[in-house]
Amino acid sequence: MASLSKQLHFLLIPLMSQSHIIPLTDFAKLLALHGVTVSIITTHLNAQRYKSIVTHAMKSNLKIQLIPLHFPNQEVGLPQECENLDTLSSLELFNEFFLASEMMQEPLEKLIQDLEPKPSCIISTSPLIWTQQVANKFKIPRYVFQTVSCFTLFCSHIINQEKIQETLVLDSDSFLIPNVPHKIEFTKGQMLIGTSTNKSQDMKSIIDKIKQSQDLARGTLINTFEELEPWYIDEYKKIMNKVFCIGPVSLCNKEMVDRGNKICIDEHSCLSWLDSMKPKSVIYACFGSLCQISSLQMKEIGLGLESSNVPFIWVIRKLNLTLEVEKWLRDENFEEKVKGRGMIIRGWAPQVLILSHLSIGGFLTHCGWNSTLEGIFCGVPMITFPMFAEQFYNEKFIVNVLKIGVRVGVEVSINSWNEEKNGVLVNKDQVKKAIDQLMDKGLEGEERRKRTKELAHMSKMVIKEEGSSFLNTKLLIEDVMQLLKNKEGEANNVARTM
């Protein structure tokens, strides 16, 4: 079987979004470490952004490559440079982006016809439902790669099965998830689809199609590990065919190489600053690549960090670095006020490098699943500041299930990427209170830090040889090999009867 694995060719196709491309590229490296050939399908601009990751892997003699395809952005009315969700200027353009991604089906099929060796399977992230049609056409299995937790997948399944959202009227209406071992309470306003606008109905239609497509797939890969959420994984396996928990995939990076956008700070100066701080004393605040935060909310975050008197690194991504925010920072003389205690990084930051530093004691996060996993395996307790999508599920998981986080107090999901419409979700006092609570040296804080440390150790074990995620990756490869052998056997039988 080991020699057979060297004949396998895995085709990986992520949605064009940081939260999809980065983990699927990490998983590509894990697969390549098992000896298989891996090709990652993306667009030309995304290929440039992630080229350094793949080049680094190739230098380690891993059989991995990026194959760029044309992204028909202009054909659907998107700007020329728009090839990633983080370049969308408005949520209103979401459907156009999805339409453009669907139009990649035909060029992908032409590529597969000429590709050598022929693909043994397709692994695509869940929104790319058209990849199932491609897999069917070439009679190869497709596996769905989920970029969310099993907790989110199972709770979403219950909410849909029980039709809970249909019973809710106001955004403040709340409900408990039935038949789960933890007290998990949501409001309508925190759901993936909270309002009844035409856009949310379009989103509901997309989500329904994604679920239908997933049922047709050969199996589901989840960027989690069995020891992290055992009950939810066991229950999800009862309702889904072939579930492989293969994470945290980002632990494939033994060295903290550039992952995604170009880092906007000198790493040496950042690390030197962190070296000057006491252990577990610094808050790292970062809100992902897609969260569009109003200028008013940015000010409240800044004032909360300042008034906490806790050392901090505050990452302000390009999306939120508006002229108004820069003017406020200047007028407030903010950086001078916090000099020696606070650092602002404008743009992209080496997140894992920072989180893994001994001086980091807390992570103020938007609760994206990649960031959540990075907080867990770096052993950093979290302050949860969810804004949309599955982030509220991740908050419940961090705070109510794992008990390694503190809520900042966000009650409703943002429903627009027009940042000023989103207003203020939490004020400076709530930010300060959450920081004080997380950094507290009392029994509750110590218990939280102890649990986080235990989970960090656990997460590092699972991708090592004979760890649960390592073995699940092997099982996936064996599943593809077995299908290939069966296919060859059938072809031989047909040849013999002719």
Structural domain of 309: 267-460
Beta carbons within 8 Å of 399's beta carbon, 6+ residues apart: 384, 405, 406, 407
Q: Could you give the CA distance from residue 209 to residue 127 in angstroms, rounded to a whole number?
A: 9
pLDDT of residue 189: 86
Residues above pLDDT 70, as percent of the chain: 90
DSSP H helix total and E strand total for the chain: 19, 15
The CATH number for 304's domain is: 3.40.50.2000
Give the tens place of pLDDT for each residue, 2-34: 556 668 999 999 999 999 999 999 999 999 999
Using pLDDT thresholds of 50, 70 and 90, give the confidence band for residue 195: very low
Is residue 344 domain-shared with residue 230, that is, in the same domain?
no
In a domain, 350, yes or no: yes
Maximum CA extent, the chain: 84
Strand, coil or helix: what is 315? strand
Q: Are residue 426 and residue 484 in the same domain, yes or no?
A: no
Residue 485 sits in the same domain as residue 379: no
Based on the number of CB atoms within 10 Å of its own CB, is 193 exposed (0-12), middle (13-18) or buried (19 or more)? middle
Residues 283 and 199 in one domain: no
This prediction's pTM: 0.93
Tokens, residue 94: 């979401």
Both 9 and 60 in one domain: the answer is: yes
Rounded-to-10 torsion of CA 384, 386, 389, 395? 30
Answer yes or no: is pLDDT of 494 > 70. Answer: no
| Rg (alpha carbons) of the chain, rounded to whole number | 23
Backbone angles phi, psi at 42, to 5 degrees: -150, -165
Half-sphere exposure for 49 (CA within 13 Å, toward CB): 21
- 297 and 345 in a single domain? The answer is yes
φ/ψ (deg, to 5) at 325: -65, -45
Considering the domain architecture, whether residues 369 and 310 belong to the same structural domain is answered as yes
Asked whether residue 483 is assigned to any structural domain, the reply reads yes
Task: Please indicate, yes or no, if residue 474 is contained in any of the structural domains.
Answer: yes
442 is a domain residue: yes
- Do 243 and 272 share a structural domain? no
Which three-class secondary structure state does DSSP give residue 274?
Answer: helix
**Binning pLDDT at 50, 70 and 90, where does residue 158 land?**
very high
Q: Are 350 and 263 in contact (CB under 8 A)?
A: yes
Q: What is the pLDDT of residues 160-193, one digit of tens each?
A: 899 888 888 888 889 999 999 999 999 988 876 5
Say if residue 3 is in the same domain as residue 134. yes
Residue 253 placed within a domain: no
Please provide the distance, in angstroms rounded to a whole number, between the alpha carbons at the two ends of the chain: 29
Assigned domain for 261 exists: no
Kindly report, residue by residue over 295-310, the tens digit of the pLDDT: 999 999 999 999 999 9
Structural domains of the chain, count: 2
Residue 325 counted as domain residue? yes
Report pLDDT for 4.
60
pLDDT of 418 above 50? no
For residues 187 and 318, membership in a common domain is answered with no
Sheet holding 37-43, edge to edge: 64-69, 37-43, 9-13, 121-125, 142-146, 219-222, 243-245
Same domain (yes/no): 298, 208: no
Same domain, 154 and 293: no
The answer as to whether 257 is a domain residue is no
Check pLDDT > 50 for residue 286. Answer: yes
Least confident stretch, 129-133, 142-146, 251-255, 283-287 = 251-255
